[in-house]
Structure formats: structure tokens, C-alpha cells
Amino acid sequence: MTTTETRTITVAHSPDSDDAFMFYALATHKLETGDLDFQHVLEDIQTLNEKAMKGVYDVTAISFHAYAYVADKYALLPHGASIGDNYGPIVVANQELDPSELSKVKIAVPGKLTSAFLALSIYQPNFRYEVVPFDQIIEAVTSGGCDAGLLIHEGQLFYQNLGLHKVLDLGEWWHEHTGGLPLPMGGNAIRRSLGSETINQVSELLKESIQYSLDNREDALAYSMQFARDMDPALADRFVAMWVNDLTLDYGDRGREAVRRLLAEGHERGIIPHPVDIEFAG
């Protein structure tokens, strides 16, 4: 009798409610994965971006900005992207600011390799910034350490409660700037060295996992609440709905074009030093 050898696939993603929601079925063994055994690793997006440069994980969540530097090692999986359709990262400040004034203030940003930083740099090429962990940016602004902050994740939903003012929604600006494209934030990349058969198998399982969560929303949300960083269930539901949507299940033509446009503009503006050859697995 022959036994199939199991292959371990490392899957790295951030400890956020939206990522947890996407990976719920895989992480809790709701799916039949055949000869693949998924080992989940949770790390913040800045760490994941840096480790992708070294090709540490088989599958990794990654900022599209960072993908520009690892496209030789990784292909993009067609499922699991966080894409904002006419909404995205928000620049906030303690006082009302006109977006044209952003070149005159110091902005707390969540990392130079984040797509939020890339989008802001395309919008305003010259600004002073300080890199601050994403979950400490609001505090950096309210304490006066920085004049403004670039919010990703759930801070986008409750900054008003803390007396902060919206200066600019980069997703709204990008939608107008590109004639209606969504703003891609992050996706899942897979090591090319795994080979096409394994890549296609992983791709299909990730799609099944996302679909399972969408079909079993209440259970998946209950699971993802452990990663919701003090959000109440209603707020977590809103946050997940923003970042797990139809474009997450599959980029479609608009999503793919949005990724190409973001990285192409990053190159044209001199932010990314080389043109990026984007390949979607499968």
C-alpha cells in the first residue's frame, strides 16, 4: 500500500480580522487539502514585506508596493487581495488641513514598503514622514509627535471619535485620478519555485477558503474577532466587509489593471526604481 507524502506549505499573513476571515477555513481545517499541510504564521505586514525579500515563506501576504521588489521570486495569487473600491488609506490630522498642505507637515506612515505609502507618494511626492507601527499612528498624531498620520486598518473607521480630521482618502483620490479604478493595498504571493501544479492547488484552496467564509459569514466573523484589536463585532463586520469583497475572491480585469497602474505610476514617478513585470499565478 502506498502512502502519499504530505508537503508542508508555510502561509504567512497579518494578525488582522480581515486576513483571519479569509484564512478561516484553512486555519481551522474545514477544507480537504489533499497532500498539502498548511502551517500558518502570523506577523505584521512590515515584517512580512521584509521577509518576502528573502523568500522566507511559501505563501505570504504582501503589500503591492513591496511586491515590486520580489516579483522575481513570487507570483501573485489571483485570490485574497485587499482592494478598496473608491475608499482606502486615510490621512488624518489634529486640525483641519487642506491636502495641498501635506508637503509642509510631518506624517506618521506605517512603513515605506506599504501600498499606502506608495499611493501617498504618488499623490504628494514631497513630504516629511516618520515610520510608526500602524497601530500606533493615531497616538503619534493625537500626542503631537506627528502633524498627520496615514491610517490603514481599522483606524479608518473610528478616527472621528478621537477628534481627528480627515485630510484625504487616498482611495477616493485614486478612483478619480484613474477614471474609476480601485486602489489595491495587499495581496497574497506564492513562491515560483513551488512549481505550477502546487501553485494551482494552493490557489484553488485559497479561493475555496475565502468562499467558505463568505458563505459562513457568522462563523468566520466569530473566529476573526480574536484578531479584531478591541473592535466591537459591528465595527469588525464593517472592517471585514471593506477588505473582503468580490475583488478579494478574484481581482477581475479591474483589479489586475489597478495593480499594474499603481506599480507603473510608482515607477514613472521614480519611487520604484525599475518597471515591474506582474504575473498572476494560474
Q: Does position 118 have pLDDT exceeding 80, yes or no?
A: yes
Q: Which grid cell is 19? A: 486576513
Q: Which residues of 26-60 are buried (b: 16+ CB within 10 A; e: fewer)?
A: bbeebeebeeeebeeebbebbebbebbeeebbbbb
Question: Which amino acid, residue 131?
Answer: V
pLDDT tier for residue 83 given thresholds of 50, 70 and 90: very high
- In the structure grid, which three cell numbers stand for residue 129, read together? 514622514
Q: What is the pLDDT of residue 232?
A: 82
Per-residue pLDDT tens over the stretch 181-223: 999 999 999 999 999 999 999 999 999 999 999 999 999 999 9
Sign of CA dihedral 55, 58, 62, 65: positive
pLDDT band with cut points at 50, 70 and 90 for residue 234: confident
**Residue 129 phi/psi, 5° resolution?**
-145, 160
Q: Show Cβ contacts of residue 25 under 8 Å, excluding neighbours closer than 6 positions.
A: 31, 208, 209, 212, 213, 220
Q: Is the pLDDT of residue 78 over 60?
A: yes
**Residue 156: closest CA among 103, 234, 222, 90:** 90
Distance CA 151, CA 174 (A): 16
Tell me the catalytic residues.
Answer: 153
pLDDT at residue 3 tops 90: no
Q: Tens digits of per-residue pLDDT, 5-59?
A: 889 999 999 888 899 999 999 999 999 999 999 999 999 888 999 999 999 999 9
Q: For the domain covering 90-177, report its CATH number.
A: 3.40.190.10
Query: Using 50, 70 and 90 to split pLDDT, how confident is the model at 4?
Result: low
Domains 7-83+183-268 and 90-177 share a fold: yes
What SS3 class is residue 93?
A: strand
pLDDT at 16: 85
* Domain parsing of the chain, residue ranges: 7-83+183-268, 90-177
pTM of the model: 0.93
Q: Which pLDDT band, with edges at 50, 70 and 90, does 235 fall under?
A: confident
Question: Which cell goes with 217?
Answer: 459569514
Superfamily classification of domain 7-83+183-268: Periplasmic binding protein-like II (3.40.190.10)
pLDDT at 266 over 90: yes
User: Strand, coil or helix: what is 62?
Assistant: strand
Query: Distance (Å, rounded) from C-alpha 244 to C-alpha 221?
Result: 11
Which residues are CB-contacts of 159 (< 8 A; sequence separation ≥ 6)?
90, 92, 138, 151, 166
Model confidence at 236, pLDDT cuts 50, 70, 90, reads confident
Q: What is the pLDDT of residues 143-177, one digit of tens each?
A: 999 999 999 877 777 888 888 999 999 999 999 99
Cell of 243: 477588505
Q: How far is CA 195 from CA 19, 42, 58, 191, 273, in A?
A: 25, 24, 11, 8, 28
Looking at residue 1, its pLDDT comes to: 45
Say whether pLDDT at 122 is over 90: yes
